[in-house]
Amino acid sequence: MGVTLIIIKNSRVARKNYEILEHTADIRILVKAKTKEELFKNCALAMFDILAEQTEEVLNLEKINIVQKEESLEELFVNWLNELLSMCWTKKIIFIDFDILELDNKQIKAVAIGTKFDNYKLNTEIKAATYSDLEIKQIDKLWQAKVIFDV
């Protein structure tokens, strides 16, 4: 894990790549993307957009390598989001970008790029991404996912 000194201003501007759907108790989102890689990235960005908002310039970025193997695309998707949440809470990092290096229906290799909580105001504590009413599908040439976050 290396640390790079970079200044990012307004790193979350124009990142509303998701729609919040109606749900009684938790947060449900719909995300669309051109590729499966973009779908995984956009869902993670949406999750952190809901979780926190930037309050100061980001000065230090950390890059964390992530490799996951699962039995299905749905397991991979939910566990990808939950692994990011776990690292967020244990390392006190808000992830602001993701580089998906490899992705198929059972494995992901990615680099998560984040910064310490200091630059953010926490809005909503997301406990986990869930399998409840999970939908991941390709319609024509677009991918879309509906996921519920336990808050």
* Structural domains in the chain, sorted by start: 18-150 (3.55.10.10)
In the DSSP assignment, the letter for residue 12 is T
Q: Check residue 22 and give its pLDDT.
A: 87
pLDDT (0 to 100) of residue 57: 86
Return the pLDDT at 15: 55
From residue 71, give the alpha-carbon distance in Å to each of 74, 76, 104, 144: 9, 7, 11, 20
How far, in whole angstroms, is CA 119 from its chain's centroid? 18
Mean pLDDT, consecutive 10-residue segments, the chain of 151 residues?
A: 39 64 92 97 97 89 96 98 97 96 98 94 95 96 96 93
Strand partners, 99: 111
